[in-house]
Amino acid sequence: MRLLTSSAARPIVRRVAQTAALSGALFIGAACEQPTVPYYNNPSESDFAPITSLSQVQALATGIFAGDRGSIGTQIMYAETVGRDIYRLDNAEPRYITELLGPSIDPSDFLGGSVWPFSTIRLTDVAIKGAAGAPGNVLTDAGKSAVSGFAQTFKALEYIRAIEMRDTLGVPFGTDLPQGELAVIRCKPAVLDGIAAILDSAAVSLAAGGTSFPISLPSGFAGFNTPANFRKFNRALAAKVDVYRAFQKYASGGTIDRAALDSANAALGASFINATAGQLDVGPAHLYSTATGDALNPLFQDLGSTIFRVNPSLVTAAEPGDTRLARYTRSGTTKSLSNVSSSTLITVYSSNTSPVPIITNKELILMRAEVEWGMGDLTKAMADVNFIRQNDAGLAPVTLTASADVLTQILKEKRLSLFYASPDRWIDARLFGKLGTLGKERGYDPLGAFPIPAAEASGRNGAIACAP
């Protein structure tokens, strides 16, 4: 199944203030292989309440996939730059350096308005409501549960992306309101709690979703294309949210929420985590193609180009013989822009149609190491660290017994194993109070968060302080 986009795509009018600056709004395909599609990017709820055909369900599902695919590359690129892993040395657009590696990001430009995925959240709400009211000859009770669980899971994923980028500034939450009403910008703890509740509700729905989806999922979800297996993806996201909840006060006060760790551990056990060599890259992914109307991988660059570069600090961090460095980088000529330079090219993606992972088994293993570290079980944490070292990096195991050293090692392995495939490097450093250890660039410390987009602030007359 291809995900279809349109050069004429327009953003959905959301129940948050921002409309024109919504990023990543993509066109929705009514059929999996149809290059010419009707205008579904700004659907009326009345058109889908209730849903009256499976083609409508498929159109909404395809749009949800496309919407998240439109956010993932941007989030990885920007977070990996702020996190001191990559540079986009683009002479035609120096703001990729001057703002992402500067003192602030302009909330009114393309960077400040990025990863604000409320158009996709809008689609998930329409899908949930429409499916609930669909007649039995279109969706059985199990089919309604399956669609609801699917849409709720992606709704949670979009909120995860939004709060990962805005952090303590918060994001609008509870946006399923009558047209024209503004959702309250909630602070991070409330948003994380709300996301966890959405994921738990979705998991219940997926458990009641029968043996198959009434929709087709892209082939990047092979192995996750039944409600039961998709639920494992749902639980992987739930574990990530619980890790955020567990450590959200660690940077400021060193406290850890043990109940959230227990919840994360349970979610990991119900996910697709698998400590088997050769399974590290398993996980759902977004696909790309050269087909008319489809999209190309935005993180790929032909090695004849010299825009995307590795931050030299990543090369320094890798140990001799680390096979990840050989897989993900290649030496090239030196390029400089705005007082940063690099001679190392990025080779994470082999072509412009390479898939981009949403979450992988190796991330889950290293997430489990974080949970074990938080619980004080350093032996288990190091076992997971060494599994990754041996099976993903080709390195010998290491023995560490001091808590601080174990955490440092976990974050190092996450940095190298998830390089340019996840925003985790920056998010982890912020979560554990280590932003200052990433190093200055151009004389500046790493930014802590992206701003609330200017259009959102304008629509709220500047009242963007988050509420508990």
362's enclosing H/E stretch is: helix 361-374
Collapsing DSSP to helix, strand or coil, 285 comes out as strand
188 lies in some domain: yes
300 lies in some domain: no
Phi, psi dihedral angles at 369 (to 5 degrees): -60, -40
24 lies in some domain: no
Q: Which residues contact 329 (CB under 8 A, 6 or more apart)?
A: 310, 314, 315, 344, 345, 346, 347
Collapsing DSSP to helix, strand or coil, 329 comes out as strand
- In angstroms, the Cα distances linking 239 to 124, 147, 266 are 21, 22, 8
In 3D space, the residue among 446, 340, 450 whose CA is nearest the CA of residue 109 turns out to be 450
Per-residue pLDDT tens, the chain, 468 aa: give them.
333 322 223 233 334 443 322 233 333 332 333 332 333 445 556 667 678 999 999 999 999 999 999 999 999 999 999 999 999 999 999 999 999 999 999 999 999 999 999 999 999 999 999 999 999 999 999 999 999 999 999 999 999 999 999 999 999 999 998 878 899 999 999 999 999 999 999 999 999 999 999 999 999 999 999 999 999 999 999 999 999 999 999 999 999 999 999 999 999 999 999 999 999 999 999 999 999 989 999 999 988 888 999 999 999 999 999 999 999 999 999 999 999 999 999 999 999 999 999 999 999 999 999 999 999 999 999 999 999 999 999 999 999 999 999 999 999 999 999 999 999 999 999 999 999 999 999 999 999 999 999 999 999 999 999 999
Three-class secondary structure assignment of 221-279: HCCCCCHHHHHHHHHHHHHHHHHHHHHCCHHHHCCCCHHHHHHHHHHHHCCCCCCCCCC
Place of tokens 């409309």: 19
* Per-position b or e across 220-231, b if 16+ CB within 10 A of its CB: bbeebbbbebbb
- In angstroms, the Cα distances linking 391 to 274, 275, 412 are 13, 10, 15
Segments forming the whole domain that contains residue 262 = 45-289+357-437
40 lies in some domain: no
Structure tokens at 417: 């194993």
pLDDT value of residue 47: 65
Distance of CA 276 to the CA centre of its chain: 24
pLDDT value of residue 180: 81
343's enclosing H/E stretch is: strand 340-346
Q: Which residues contact 93 (CB under 8 A, 6 or more apart)?
A: none
351 lies in some domain: no
Contact 74, 298 (CB under 8 A): yes
What is the rounded CA–CA span in Å between residue 421 and residue 441? 22
Look up residue 158 and give its amino acid: E
296 lies in some domain: no
pLDDT value of residue 42: 53
Total domains in the chain come to: 1
Structure tokens at 20: 């024109």
Structure tokens at 242: 């619980």
246 lies in some domain: yes
CATH number of the CATH domain containing 216: 1.25.40.390
pLDDT value of residue 305: 83
84 lies in some domain: yes
